[in-house]
A = this chain, B = another copy of it.
Amino acid sequence: FRILVTPGDGIGPEVMEEALKVLGRVQQRFGHEFLYEEETIGGAAIDRYGVALRPETIAKAKASHAVLFGAVGGPKWDDPRASVRPEDAILGMRKQLGLFANLRPVRVSPELIGESTLKPEVLQGVDMVVIRELTGGLYFGKPKRRWENAEGRQAVDTLRYSEREVARVCHVAFQLARQRRKKVTSVDKANVLRTGQLWREIATEVGKQYPDVELEHILVDACAMYLVRRPASFDVIVTENMFGDILTDEAAMLAGSMGMMPSASLGRQRKDGTGIGLYEPIHGSAPDIAGQGKANPLAMILSAAMMLRLSLGLEQEAKAVEDAVDAVIREGLRTPDIAGPGAKVVDTRTMGSAVA
């Protein structure tokens, strides 16, 4: 198995180290060989090469089974007017590798239920996956530019979707729902946006091909409300890129910390259900705590588990990693982000080693 490793900036390298530690243990225990290549991306790549993502890196990604992606960005590269930005790395990977479906599972572990700002009774039974369309919509639509005219500065972004783009991500949602509680919630803004109307129409049509799966449509503003009001009612949510960005960060708060939230970004699948994927924690590079051993490596480790399952087809190995994470949580190990009063606080490495 060939794996491209891109640690990135901030806490990226620290949490990556722990994920690789755990994968090392998987190799040993299950007798696999993982071949790693490492590439510099993000702010670090801007410093070194002048760009956040080199064509060489994309070529290596394409020759791999999966990409393990840390995090990018930091104050050093934060000028909004800069022509190269750390985010180019993640946006470029997603687009150039055709990773159109971003899966973000949200589960609340019983031991961590107290870490959330929501009441425990509301969190009972929360177990959803948000599928965010990842290569279309406002992120990539053209025109996307700034200019100046007699009336001053102007800017435009374009929210564009095609039938094909909506249909393929909806299929991913329905297929996943079939393996779960058989409910898809499609989120749009059909009462205001033309793309929202298209989204709803296509979701409905795709849904007809999955008569065993229940389909509901809700507006994005209502969804933002229901995620806080009755989160346990969701199974699979599918939505467009920008809405998914907002709603998944909101949903992450159900679990108390972003430090627990993995994600998988998938493109076209092979016949056996696997395919090249990019795996990243949904947290950012957290420059404020970088290098201090405070970062929670579990999101990165759980992302590696998703890689084992979805790109390498190693279900048993994925399960072993997830079980190990559950076990260390049950044993009471906590990084600062998930440490309630009186908890046993450990550093990034200790947490990684415990899982390994």
A contact residues vs B (CB 8 Å cutoff): 73, 80-81, 85, 87, 91, 117-119, 122, 138-139, 141, 144-146, 151-164, 189-198, 200-202, 220-222, 224-225, 227-229, 242-243, 245-250, 252-253, 258
Q: Please list 22 pairs of residues, one from A and one from B, whose beta carbons are closer than 8 Å in the complex, sorted by A's number.
A: A117-B118, A117-B229, A118-B119, A118-B228, A138-B192, A146-B198, A151-B163, A153-B162, A153-B163, A154-B160, A154-B163, A155-B195, A156-B194, A157-B160, A220-B245, A221-B246, A224-B247, A224-B249, A225-B249, A225-B250, A225-B252, A225-B253
Given pairs A91-B192, A155-B161, 11 additional interface contacts (CB within 8 A): A80-B190, A80-B201, A144-B194, A151-B162, A154-B161, A157-B159, A189-B242, A224-B246, A224-B247, A228-B253, A229-B253
Q: Chain B nearest CB: distance from A215 CB in Å?
A: 14
Residues of B within 8 A of A243 (CB): 246
Chain B minimum-CB-distance residue to A250:
B224
A-B pairs, 5 with minimum CB distance: A152-B163, A155-B198, A224-B250, A221-B249, A153-B163
Chain B minimum-CB-distance residue to A244:
B221
Residues of B within 8 A of A158 (CB): 156-159
Residues of B within 8 A of A252 (CB): 225
Residues of B within 8 A of A200 (CB): 80
Residues of B within 8 A of A246 (CB): 220-221, 224, 243, 246
Q: Chain B nearest CB: distance from A222 CB in Å?
A: 7
> Given contacts A156-B160, A157-B159, is CB(A117)–CB(B228) below 8 Å?
yes
Residues of B within 8 A of A224 (CB): 224, 246-247, 249-250
Contact pick for A157, options B146, B195, B225, B247, CB 8 Å? B195
Residues of B within 8 A of A87 (CB): 191-192
The CA of A59 and the CA of B307, in the complex, are separated in Å by: 60
Q: Chain B nearest CB: distance from A205 CB in Å?
A: 10
Residues of B within 8 A of A153 (CB): 162-163, 198, 201-202
Q: Chain B nearest CB: distance from A124 CB in Å?
A: 12
The CA of A12 and the CA of B194, in the complex, are separated in Å by: 26
Contact pick for A141, options B85, B91, B156, B228, CB 8 Å? B156
Residues of B within 8 A of A191 (CB): 73, 80, 85, 87
Residues of B within 8 A of A160 (CB): 154-157
Residues of B within 8 A of A247 (CB): 224
